[in-house]
């Protein structure tokens, strides 16, 4: 008899959410994490008594009724998170070399549209179209809107339109096109490959409302871990899965590097698909599938510099900067050693120590 109904590999946000939902629904769940700290990209670290995020720097959609609010309410997080609402007149500001202007992404569709239309008055109609289509694209994903409906096949068109070409059909001004795509580092955007829906689902959530986690995003992982355990789930850290044992019906157990074995009826791997397949012996997965997954490109990575400020020297910024050296924001990923970096982001973490001064930036 398997000890667990569900064994989950990896305690990133996805793994923890699965564990929480399934434990709450009465399944016997076990979550395995190779590191000491849970949360994957939600992990924080501390230098000179200053907290730094590793992955999640700001989150969106947390106003009442919005999508993350509804997910986080279900997950028991909403009344416990320490959050700071970002600057409504421009939570993200897109800037370029040789251009003194800051181009704000303002919060709420009306403000977003009016703010950019004031800078690009000839593009009023195009901006309206952009905002309407963006929301329409999000509406076609019921799970994103937390709506009880099936995916409508007629809406598949959103999967086949490119983000860059969509923006180009809405507005004509080259600068505005780059301002609208200016935060594409959020989703590792490629000019010829990134679909509209990826751009829409990410950008929409922040336009709805943008927030920073005060003292870091690890609070999300801590609260989820408590919720999982409160619902009877088990969590093991320092527990690196190295093998998935297979039987005639599928996976039966996982083995860890230190020799432990966890049996389950069902398994969820929340780690890289190539690493997951590498843990399964030959003969259980079609070779063509393995080859296809192994052949997929990884998205571009980010190099981060973390700076600790002397106390009360750098005023806290309640917004992010997305700066591009080049007028074409889609070209930044094609860098050489000589011209790198072609773009950068500035995040200023929200600290409970002060609202006026920042103690760090990234």
Ligand X SMILES: Cc1cc2nc3c(=O)[nH]c(=O)nc-3n(C[C@H](O)[C@H](O)[C@H](O)COP(=O)(O)OP(=O)(O)OC[C@H]3O[C@@H](n4cnc5c(N)ncnc54)[C@H](O)[C@@H]3O)c2cc1C
Contacts of 92 (CB under 8 A, 6+ apart): 104, 105, 182, 183, 206, 210, 319, 320, 321, 322
Select from 342, 301, 319, 313 the least CA-distant residue to 54.
301
Judged by CB under 6 A, does residue 270 bind ligand X?
Answer: yes
- Of the pair 101, 300, the CB lying nearest ligand X is at 300
Range in contact with ligand X (rule: CB under 6 A) among 10-18, 82-90, 141-149, 310-318 = 10-18
- Of the pair 40, 182, the CB lying nearest ligand X is at 40
Judged by CB under 6 A, does residue 350 bind ligand X?
Answer: no
Judged by CB under 6 A, does residue 223 bind ligand X?
Answer: no
Shortest distance (Å) from residue 151 CB to ligand X: 21
Judged by CB under 6 A, does residue 234 bind ligand X?
Answer: no
Judged by CB under 6 A, does residue 9 bind ligand X?
Answer: yes
Cis peptide before 341 (omega within 30 of 0): yes
- For the window 294-333, what string marks contact with ligand X as x by the rule CB under 6 A? --------x-------------------------------
Q: Tokens 């072609």 identify what position?
A: 342
Distance, in Å, from the CA atom of 276 to the CA atom of 273, rounded to the nearest integer, reads 5
Distance, in Å, from the CA atom of 109 to the CA atom of 102, rounded to the nearest integer, reads 19
Judged by CB under 6 A, does residue 233 bind ligand X?
Answer: no
Shortest distance (Å) from residue 221 CB to ligand X: 9
DSSP output for 67-98: HHHHHHHHTT-TTT--EEEPPTT-SEEEEETT
- Of the pair 56, 170, the CB lying nearest ligand X is at 56
- In 3-state terms, what secondary structure has residue 202? helix
Judged by CB under 6 A, does residue 170 bind ligand X?
Answer: no
- Of the pair 126, 217, the CB lying nearest ligand X is at 217
Degrees, nearest 5: CA angle 242-243-247: 170
Q: Report, in angstroms and rounded to the nearest whole number, the Rg of the chain calculated over CA atoms.
A: 22
Judged by CB under 6 A, does residue 10 bind ligand X?
Answer: yes
- Of the pair 28, 34, the CB lying nearest ligand X is at 34
Residues 59-98 that bind ligand X (CB under 6 A): 59
Distance, in Å, from the CA atom of 115 to the CA atom of 106, rounded to the nearest integer, reads 7
# of chain residues touching ligand X (CB under 6 A): 24
Among 240, 245, 263, 328, binds ligand X (CB under 6 A): 240
Q: Measured between alpha carbons, how far is residue 161 from residues 81, 164, 197, 199 in Å?
A: 36, 9, 8, 11
- Of the pair 304, 326, the CB lying nearest ligand X is at 304
- For the window 20-59, what string marks contact with ligand X as x by the rule CB under 6 A? ------------xxxx----xxx------------xxxxx
- Of the pair 43, 140, the CB lying nearest ligand X is at 43
Q: Closest residue (Cβ) to ligand X?
A: 12
Q: Tokens 């416990």 identify what position?
A: 80
Instruction: Name the strand (E) or helix (H) holding 21.
Output: helix 13-24
Torsion of CA 21, 22, 24, 28, to 10 degrees: -150
Chain residues binding ligand X by CB under 6 A are 9-15, 32-35, 40-42, 55-59, 240-241, 270-271, 302
């Amino acid at each position: 008899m398997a000890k667990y109904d569900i064994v989950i590999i990896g305690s990133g946000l996805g793994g923890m959410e699965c564990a929480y939902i399934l434990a709450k629904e009465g399944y016997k769940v076990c979550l395995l994490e190779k590191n000491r700290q849970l949360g994957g990209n939600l992990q924080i670290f501390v230098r000179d008594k200053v907290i730094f995020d590793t992955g999640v720097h700001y989150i969106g959609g947390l106003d009442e009724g919005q999508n993350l609010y509804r997910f986080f309410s279900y997950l028991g997080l909403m009344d416990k998170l320490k959050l700071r609402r970002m600057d409504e007149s421009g939570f993200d500001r897109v800037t370029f070399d040789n251009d003194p202007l800051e181009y704000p992404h303002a919060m709420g569709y009306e403000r977003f549209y009016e703010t950019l239309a004031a800078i690009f008055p000839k593009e009023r109609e195009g901006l309206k179209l952009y905002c309407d289509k963006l929301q329409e694209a999000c509406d076609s994903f019921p799970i994103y809107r937390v709506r009880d409906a099936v995916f409508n096949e007629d809406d598949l068109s959103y999967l086949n339109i490119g983000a860059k070409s969509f923006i180009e059909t809405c507005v004509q001004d080259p600068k505005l096109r780059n301002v609208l795509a200016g935060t594409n580092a959020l989703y590792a955007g490629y000019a010829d490959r990134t679909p509209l829906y990826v751009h829409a689902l990410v950008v929409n959530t922040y336009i709805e409302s943008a927030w920073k986690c005060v003292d870091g995003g690890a609070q999300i992982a801590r609260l989820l871990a408590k919720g999982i355990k409160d619902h009877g789930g088990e969590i093991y850290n320092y527990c690196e899965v190295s093998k998935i044992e297979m039987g005639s019906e599928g996976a039966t157990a996982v083995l860890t590097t230190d020799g432990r074995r966890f049996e389950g009826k069902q398994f969820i791997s929340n780690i890289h698909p190539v690493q997951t397949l590498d843990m399964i012996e030959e003969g259980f997965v079609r070779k063509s599938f393995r080859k296809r997954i192994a052949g997929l490109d990884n998205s571009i990575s980010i190099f981060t510099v973390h700076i600790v400020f002397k106390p009360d020297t750098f005023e806290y910024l309640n917004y992010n900067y997305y700066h591009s050296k080049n007028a074409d924001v889609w070209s930044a990923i094609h860098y050489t050693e000589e011209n790198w970096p072609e773009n950068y982001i500035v995040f200023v973490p929200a600290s409970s120590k002060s609202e006026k001064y920042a103690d760090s930036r990234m």
